[in-house]
Amino acid sequence: RYKFSATYMLPVLVQKISQFRDKKSADLTPILLDKDVQIYMFDEEFRWTGQDFYLCDPQGNQEMRIVSQIPYKTFNIYDAESEENIFTLTKRIFHILPHYDMYANGQKIGRIKKTLCLHHDYFVADTIYGKLELKKMNAMFGANYQVMIDGAPIGTIAEKMNLNIANVLFDNYVLTVNDPKYLVLMAAMSVMAARESRRDQVRDTHTMSDMIGD
């Protein structure tokens, strides 16, 4: 069984370790799961013509549906109940690193882009909500991200590590969301995490092919 609390507590643990490393002092206060934090499942659905996802609560009730078409330039997020398009990610071409324009209910809220960072994947955007950051956290297992607005955490994205076929073949995640108003934004950031995972897989495949060729 996946430990939901670990998904939320990981960034706090990383912060404590960093503090110990930088300041040589240990923070011994307990790490507690905030009672207001909500858990969601973000699962990929296999399709030959695109990469689709579903965002569900822990009971399996669908909250949002994310639809794309090859060549994965645009991702539309639909409310599961009203079936309205509530958010869109559109990839900008002619950029070496990924850039995506973000639209909420048809209004452009900002452009998120990947920036060069030595130790982890890092995406940043100036939005109507403030400075949005998607930062990959160094962890022993899986791809884990923290999402922040103006330096304040709004949630985490953690790769599902259950050993089953769906999690091995597809990009499936567990989300913690600190405030329901950011749920659709967290869904969009999960799409970014999934696309980055696919790019990593392609790079790893090419690297392995080069090694075999040698």
Q: Give per-residue pLDDT as tens, 168-214.
A: 344 588 899 999 999 999 999 999 998 887 665 554 443 333 333 33
pLDDT-derived band at 86 (thresholds 50, 70, 90) equals: very high
At 69 the pLDDT is 82
Q: What is the pLDDT of residue 139?
A: 56
Sign of CA dihedral 57, 63, 67, 73: negative
Q: Is the pLDDT of residue 65 over 70?
A: yes
Dist CA 148 CA 112 (whole Å): 13
Where residue 129 falls among pLDDT bands split at 50, 70, 90? very high
- Give the separation between CA 87 and CA 79, rounded to whole angstroms: 9
Identity of the amino acid at 214: D
φ and ψ at residue 10, rounded to 5 degrees:
-55, -50
Q: Please state the pTM of the whole predicted model.
A: 0.76
pLDDT band at 50 (very low <50, low <70, confident <90, very high): confident
pLDDT value at 103 more than 50 = yes
pLDDT band at 85 (very low <50, low <70, confident <90, very high): very high
Q: What is the pLDDT of residue 156?
A: 92
Mean pLDDT of the 64-85 span? 92
3-state secondary structure the chain: CCCHHHHHHHHHHHHHHHHHHHHCCCCCCCCCCCCCCEEEEEEEEECCCCEEEEEECCCCCEEEEEEECCCCCEEEEEECCCCCEEEEEEECCCCCCCEEEEEECCEEEEEEEEECCCCCCEEEEEECCEEEEEEEECCCCCCEEEEEECCEEEEEEEECCCCCHHHHHCCCEEEEECCHHHHHHHHHHHHHHHHHHHHHHHHHHHHHHHHHHC
pLDDT above 90 covers a percentage of the chain that reads 44
> Rounded mean pLDDT of the chain?
78
- pLDDT at 11 (0 to 100): 58
Residue-level pLDDT at 13: 57
Mean pLDDT of 31-43: 76
